[in-house]
Structure 1
Amino acid sequence: MNWKPDASMKEPIFRQIAKHFESLIIEGKLAPGEPLPAERKFAEELGVNRSTVVSAYAELRATGLVQSVQGSGTRVSERMWGVSARKVPNWRQYTLEASFRPTLPLISKLRSASTDPTKINLARGELSEDLLPRREVQELLHRMNIDDSLGYSHPQGSLRLRETLCDHLRKANGIYTDPEHILITSGSQQALHLITQCLLAPGDAIGLEGPSYAYSLPLFSSAGLRLFRIPVDDDGLDPISVKELYQKHMIKMVFVNPTYQNPTGTTLSLSRRKQLLEICEELRIPIVEDGAYSEIRLDKSEAPSNALVTLHGNSDLVIYVGSLSKTAAPGLRIGWVIAPSAVIRRMADAKEQMDFGMNTVVQELANLYLRTGWRDHLQRLTRELTKRRNSMLMSLQSNAEELCVWNKPLGGYHIWCRLKHIISDAELLDACIQNGVIVTLGIVYGLSMDSYV
């Protein structure tokens, strides 16, 4: 190592050492699990007392960037959410840089490999080209009347589309609402972004399922939020953990994908849904419910438990987020939020400041699609996805039974595999890429090597 601390600086040597390693971790040059130099040897290399290095490593441990295990030395932390902020006053910078940057090199490599057409891409969680409703959309474009579709949209989105959504959500999900409680967004990711920007503040703690796709979204980090994991098993998240997180960290919001969860494919049981609602009502914690996959039922399975937003008499407790990205086409960029009027007004105001409202032509296209072609397309889609799921399960059974275990999802897009043997995320990704297959790693969903079978 060529780096040396600068004795002429006013900043203490131990703090220079801590900042040096912090930079290496943030930039991904030291990956999760990688060891730091042994204290005594490193002190000799730098020409400082061992106590100076000990103090530097202690500072890094206090921020959660490293962890020390007797007999194994000091290593970069495998899991980086919910780390202490005692040493860093700027929460926005802290959560953006310290919590998630170490996974970025892997994500960057994954995305780069995804552009290679010779690779089998199982990582994107996106419909293949042949499953998109091209013909239906082309016909609707010819039928559209755009006489009043080229001006700025209403801040909450097209009234026609919001009225159509009320009818659609009632029939498809049993959700009863009205246009005044709906905001049209550019996909569900913008909906989540608006929630974080309008309802939360830097430094706020939130609860997320672990694993959860939400850990891969930079919008939570850029909002300066502290992320805490809610354990997930075959019946979904553990509601009791929500109360424990509140008592320990004062979480201010719970984000949950209760039906055909991404990435595990699990569905939160009815009893746990009710328990979660009771706990959050008692603690006055709002719930953000992501219903992206709730309509994609495979094997003609029965409808899952009712949406959280329909199970609770207090409609102000749950914010519901949905979109057409999973059941139609992600390129339409149509999502929506159902929330109390005050929340909708606040988010609509922020959205208007961002982009002056949604694309009016696309909103009208979505309105016609939901009224005329959505249900037939969904039926074709679920039939085809059922075949592809079954084919993937057969392939796993034939080729990977000794390596991992997996679930059989009843809906959604995802099969969650858990390895029987420990392997680093970098090694696993490299091995997959070399063999022509791209998968999303557990670390992207907020897990580390303690999550093996």
Structure 2
Amino acid sequence: MWKINKQDKTPLYQQITSQIIQAIQQGQLMPGDKLPPERQLSQLYGVNRSTVVRALEELVSLGWITRKQGSGTRVAQGRWGSRQLLMNQWRALLSSPFLKEDPYVSELKKKQTQIGTIDLYTGDLPEELIPDFEFPAITWEQVLYEEKKIHPTGYLPLKKHLLNHLAEEFHLPITGQDLLITSGSTQGIFLLIQVLLDTGSYMATEDPSFLFALPLFASLGIHLVGIKQDEEGIDCHELEQAIQTKKIKLLYLNPNHQNPTGKTMSLARRKAIVALCEKYHLPIIEDDVFSELGFDETLPSLKSLAPDQVIYVGSLSKLFGSTIKIGWLLAPQTLITSLASAKKRMESDTDLFPQLLATAALTSSDYKQKQIHLLHELRHRSQNFETLMQPFASDWTYIPIQGGLYYWLTWQHQALTRKDWQLFLEENLLTAPAFLFSNDTMSVRINYTRLSDAQLSIFQTSLLRITEKIRKDAVYE
């Protein structure tokens, strides 16, 4: 390391930049690690100090390092998935469309298979809560018959049921709209991005947002712009500034039980956001995958407030588990026709069998009863979690949730680093720290639904040990 090839025609500063990015991706430099001072780096590389400065400035602009007077140059701690590559690195990326996984997540996944860990990281319901439906026996002849009902936009019986369900349960407009079945909501989101955005385009979302945890954005060359949130949702003033200065082409929002914060956007903020986007003709992707997991009646969706301005994304994966990869896009008919054509060109067909299973479950006579039972259990687990957190009120805060899968705990004392979050792994508590979703390092996402009654005391004891260890280094004002 710290060596470059001066015979190479590539500019020296680009060689330095590429080498440091590679060192971070390979784990030689870890998030939070301090780089040598500029003068020392220029000596190590045998180049002018100005060359080193230019390389470091490039790394800052790409999101790989941070520079702060008095604390030096460090490997960035947050937003691993949204870091950008140099143009001369795209060729190497073609053989592997995803950037290297965040090292914290890699370590966490190794622990997922170990006995004794409590997995509050995974974004699914635990198996014991997933509704159990009986699926009718089906012959191969019946499969061939049902296959004739496949349309470019999806399996027609499933489409019909979903459209009726969305209209009746969530009051979504379906006149002039159409539905495209996808293999989960994530496929739908990426399909929209690939069709609606060009390389180098800017897309806005909440900060924090689970989109920042997806490395594919960097490989697509899409710039994610994080807009801060307050207690009501995404900040309108900051969003408008970003629209004006960065020429935002698309806005992604998760208004109900937002991932990762669990927040639900207020009705007043929803109306303000819609008005702002109509003013600037900015399309909105409304990700509503947690809609079936709300404790109370949901607020009007962005889609219902502006049918032609909003593309509505839904999914069954949060309700039935990730095994049934079924999602959908609800949008104006002309857009769905174009998206269906693009989906076919990309050879991203949605398999028939998951659509058959989804149809059987949704049309089951006891579907509503099973969903009510699930929501009762989720409310019970949510209340248990809030009771459990009461003794930690001076150290950890959270906003009460109205449904969904997540609580967002925030540390109240000294600034934390990635290394502090290793304590959770050491205690075999698998969680999702804020740096996976933003540049913040003070909060953590907890999937409370995966915390059974039997695990409550274990979790509480482990969190107490972690809290005490972190408090030892706290500096109180």
Fold shared by both chains (TM-score > 0.5): yes
1:270-349 mapped onto 2 (5 Å cutoff) = 270-298=267-295, 301=296, 303-312=297-306, 315-349=307-341
For residues 61-94 of structure 1, the C-alpha deviation after alignment (integer angstroms, 9 at most, x for no partner) is 3444333222222222345589998x94579779
Structure 2 runs not aligned, ≥5 long: 445-473
Q: Which stretch has the larger CA shift, 317-326 or 87-96?
A: 87-96
- Look up the match of 2:361: 369
How far residue 36 of structure 1 moved from its aligned partner, in angstroms, is 1.1
SS in 1 for 2:293: coil
Distance 2:264 2:367 in 1: 24
- Look up the match of 1:232: 229
1:135-150 mapped onto 2 (5 Å cutoff) = 136=133, 138-141=134-137, 146=143, 148-150=145-147
Q: 1:226 to 1:81 in 2, by over 3 A?
A: farther
- Contact between 2:262 and 2:406, CA under 8 Å: does it hold in 1? yes
Question: AA paired with 2:317?
Answer: S
Question: AA paired with 2:294?
Answer: R
For residues 351-408 of structure 1, the C-alpha deviation after alignment (integer angstroms, 9 at most, x for no partner) is 223447333233233223222233112101101111111222222223x334311122
For residues 306-361 of structure 1, the C-alpha deviation after alignment (integer angstroms, 9 at most, x for no partner) is 0111012xx22100000111223321111111011221112111222344733323
SS in 2 for 1:415: strand
SS in 2 for 1:125: coil
- Contact between 1:316 and 1:339, CA under 8 Å: does it hold in 2? yes
- Look up the match of 1:253: 250
Q: 1:174 to 1:91 in 2, by over 3 A?
A: farther
Distance 1:297 1:64 in 2: 36
Which of 385, 397, 401 aligns to 2:390? It is 397
Distance 1:179 1:218 in 2: 35
Question: AA paired with 1:375?
Answer: K
How far residue 15 of structure 1 moved from its aligned partner, in angstroms, is 3.8
Q: Which stretch has the larger CA shift, 358-367 or 72-81?
A: 72-81
Distance 1:93 1:308 in 2: 40
- Look up the match of 1:125: 123
- Look up the match of 1:173: 170
Q: Which stretch has the larger CA shift, 400-409 or 198-207?
A: 400-409
Distance 2:3 2:353 in 1: 59
Distance 1:276 1:213 in 2: 20
- Contact between 2:205 and 2:226, CA under 8 Å: does it hold in 1? yes
Distance 1:443 1:73 in 2: 20
Q: 1:95 to 1:297 in 2, by over 3 A?
A: farther
1:15-34 mapped onto 2 (5 Å cutoff) = 15-34=14-33
Distance 1:124 1:239 in 2: 31
State the percentage of identical aligned residues: 32
Q: Which stretch has the larger CA shift, 417-426 or 202-211?
A: 417-426
How far residue 254 of structure 1 moved from its aligned partner, in angstroms, is 0.4
Question: AA paired with 2:19?
Answer: H
Which of 146, 157, 161 aligns to 2:158? It is 161
Question: AA paired with 2:343?
Answer: K
Question: AA paired with 2:438?
Answer: G
Distance 1:4 1:422 in 2: 34
SS in 1 for 2:323: helix
Which of 104, 111, 116 aligns to 2:102? It is 104
| 1:7 partnered with 2:1 | no
Q: RMSD over aligned Cα, in angstroms?
A: 3.1
Q: 1:15 to 1:371 in 2, by over 3 A?
A: closer
Q: 1:200 to 1:174 in 2, by over 3 A?
A: same
Structure 1 runs not aligned, ≥5 long: none
Distance 1:224 1:141 in 2: 46
Distance 1:34 1:213 in 2: 24
- Look up the match of 2:453: none
How far residue 147 of structure 1 moved from its aligned partner, in angstroms, is 6.0
- Look up the match of 1:244: 241
Structure 2 length-normalised TM: 0.83
Distance 2:278 2:115 in 1: 49
How far residue 4 of structure 1 moved from its aligned partner, in angstroms, is 2.2
